Amino acid sequence: PGQMIPEWTIALSDKHTQQVSIEVREPAGLPLLLLKSEGGEIRFSSQAFAVEPGMKFQMEAAFKNGPAFTGDIWMGTELTRQESNGDQVTKHLNQKAPAAGRKDGWSTAKSTFTLPQGSKVMRLEIYGTFKGKTIIRNIQLRRKPASTPDEGASG
């Protein structure tokens, strides 16, 4: 408790009513991200990393909301692009909310996307405005092979 999480940034609207922590509770020893909030935005962001236009990624995480959870939680990216008038930052790009839950209470947010022209720097983010708690596991961002123009063509 009270320690930094390497290579991630935490932004709280109210440090007295919001909390982010990491716990290892599963039999497999996988880390769980716990977010608690009584309202206001809460954001968990990865370190920024260099990207290029045309790169293809898949992001995915599993969410389990507490019984009193109300509000919204998403997974998405923040992208910096080079434009003719300088760098432009786009927040909430590729935003994905968890799909309907399974019987065990877990739901998944998953999206595959290709970066647009001018892409330079990206962050993976989990953010929302809610009351209650949510547990997040298996946070992943994987680079996928880029599509080729003749992909899917029959010969």
Both tokens assigned to 128: 């929302």
Return the amino acid letter for 42. I
* Residue 25, pLDDT score: 72
* Residue 1, pLDDT score: 46
* Residue 154, pLDDT score: 44
Q: Which residues of the chain have pLDDT under 50?
A: 1, 151-155
* Residue 126, pLDDT score: 95
pLDDT in tens, 134-148: 999 999 999 998 765
Q: pTM of the full predicted structure?
A: 0.84
- How far is residue 98's CA from residue 91's CA, in Å, rounded to a whole number? 18
* Residue 110, pLDDT score: 95
How would DSSP label each residue in 100-122?
SP-TTS-EEEEEEEEPPTTEEEE
- Are 48 and 54 a contacting pair, CB within 8 Å? no
User: Any idea what the Cα angle at residue 67 is, between residues 45 and 63, rounded to 5°?
Assistant: 35
* Residue 106, pLDDT score: 93
